[in-house]
Amino acid sequence: MRKSLLVGSLALCSAILFSGSNALAGDNWLGTWKLNVAKSKYSPGPGPKSLTLKFEATPGGIKLTSEGVNAEGNATRGEYVSKFDGQDVPWAGNPDADTASPKRIDDNRYQNTWQKGGKVTVTAKAVVSGDGKTLTINQTGKDSQGRTVNTTAVYEKQ
């Protein structure tokens, strides 16, 4: 009886451990992505001179760190940590949002609603290509200055 209970407990613990790992492993946007400026379209423009996104699994969820150089030549940095469950999380370093609410759609797609001062500003839809080499993020809405945003940013896996 004890042996059966021990084996059953170990099997359950293993199943929980591996299912948690597989959940994060399926998020194909994890990793480092570099903006392909030539393939990207920014409206309003101009877009950044460079931008790198890093998505990494952490105990609190997925951490996004962005680092780059904006159109004026100034360094930029932003970050948030989210479980990609659609809940609002603080977003440091984004002039158009103070919270993000990313939500996983499937292994290759997520949607992120940005808010500033409790008001929705931009909706971003991200898709990883079938070969896993390209991340395309389409952003629509209004920036913090009230200008219409219609941007397609294309990133390459590093």
Domain containing 96 equals 28-157
Separation in Å, CA 91 to CA 2, 39, 53, 66, 123 = 50, 26, 14, 11, 14
20 inside domain: no
**Rounded Cα gap, residues 102 and 123, in angstroms:** 10
Residue 15, Cβ density class (10 Å: 0-12 exposed, 13-18 middle, ≥19 buried): exposed
**pLDDT tens column, 121-143:** 999 999 999 999 999 999 999 99
Residue 135 sits in a domain whose CATH number is: 2.40.128.20
| Total of domains in the chain | 1
22 inside domain: no
Residue, of 16 and 44, whose pLDDT is higher: 44
19 inside domain: no
38 inside domain: yes
- Rounded to a whole number, what is the distance in angstroms from the first to the last CA of the chain? 52
**pLDDT tens column, 39-56:** 999 999 999 999 999 999
71 inside domain: yes
Evaluate if pTM is beyond 0.85.
no
Cα 42 off chain centre by: 18
- Which pairing describes strands 134-142 and 148-157: parallel, antiparallel, or unpaired? antiparallel
Residue 144: pLDDT band (50, 70, 90) is confident
Query: Tokens 């042996």 label which residue?
Result: 3
**Rounded Cα gap, residues 87 and 118, in angstroms:** 13
